[in-house]
Amino acid sequence: MPTYTPTQKSAIQQFTGFTHTKESVAAKQLKSHSWNIEQAVDAYFQSNNPSKDASSSTSALSRLFDSYRDNPKDEPDTIGVEGSMRYLQDLGLSLDEPVVLAILTELAAPTMGELTRSGFVDGWKRLRAATLSDQKSTLPNLRTSLSSSSTSPQGLFRQTYKHTFRLALAPGQRSLPLDTALEYWRLLLSPPALKWNTKTTPWLDYWIEYLTTKGKKGVSKDMWEQTAVFAGKSLEDETMGWWSEDGAWPGCLDEFVGFVREKRGDGGAEEQGMEM
């Protein structure tokens, strides 16, 4: 018979009490999870009783959600600004981290300072993180995915980028003030998120310089989303061999191409037939 420490024996007893399995099964499961009783039990139910696990996760997440509500009586299914800030702090995050935007996207947050019960529960269930500890454990993977050079529409970066426009939008408005858009572009298009910079071209710096000197006031949803598409293509081919003046780009991006070529010395705006 294997020899276990008192702590390990206690963990085996707890595991069998939760799962009604044999001690040998409990010991094997606990060993594979470094004797972490919570992780071992969760893994057992996930592999042996998915429906029960789903129900358990929903209950656990709902209880966690309840603990952060600002106004349980009048808004039982909403976490407001104060609760959201407290929750993010408990995850060990600060608001200037790009991964915060990824989390708010995964949880379908309707605004920067609000979380809904359905978004919270469904989001964390999808990520298989029912406890605060499990949620903290997802952060490294989210950070890695967010900094990936992949800008495919299905990737975390593009999904986060797209949802950020909704998060940043003021009530009743259809476009972002330029200063607000610039703040989020700096956050999302530079490390530790996606690095919009190539060997010969500091794209983000040029983009900010172009917009600020152009005197543009607001950023529409189409301009916001097409900027991400443009960034992805420029990272794949910084020579812009993919660009055509007959393409369906917003006018400001057409003009930006001329601005970049002039800055790089490989063709001015006049050569592109654009008005600067």
pLDDT digits (tens, 9 = 90+) for 45-94: 667 644 445 556 899 999 999 999 999 999 999 999 999 999 999 999 99
Mean pLDDT of the chain: 86
Q: Do residues 138 and 207 share a domain?
A: no
Beta-carbon count within 10 A of 100 CB: 21
Q: Do residues 136 and 174 share a domain?
A: no
Position 23 scores a pLDDT of: 85
Tokens 């063709």 locate to 267
Q: Is 180 contained in some domain?
A: yes
Q: Is 125 contained in some domain?
A: yes
Q: Is 204 contained in some domain?
A: yes
Q: Do residues 142 and 162 share a domain?
A: no
Contact present, 268 and 191 (Cβ < 8 Å): no
The model carries a pTM of: 0.75
Q: Do residues 172 and 91 share a domain?
A: no
pLDDT digits (tens, 9 = 90+) for 166-215: 999 998 899 999 999 999 999 999 999 999 999 999 999 999 999 999 87
Which domain does 215 fall in, by range?
156-272
State the total domains in the chain: 2
- Out of 147, 167, 194, a domain closes at 147
Q: Is 40 contained in some domain?
A: no
Q: Do residues 211 and 254 share a domain?
A: yes
SS (H, E, C) 121-156: HHHHHHCCCCCHHHHHHHHHHHHHHHHCCCCCCCCH
Q: Is 265 contained in some domain?
A: yes
Q: What is the CATH number of the domain that holds 97?
A: 1.10.238.10
Q: Is 203 contained in some domain?
A: yes
Q: Is 106 contained in some domain?
A: yes
Q: Do residues 122 and 204 share a domain?
A: no
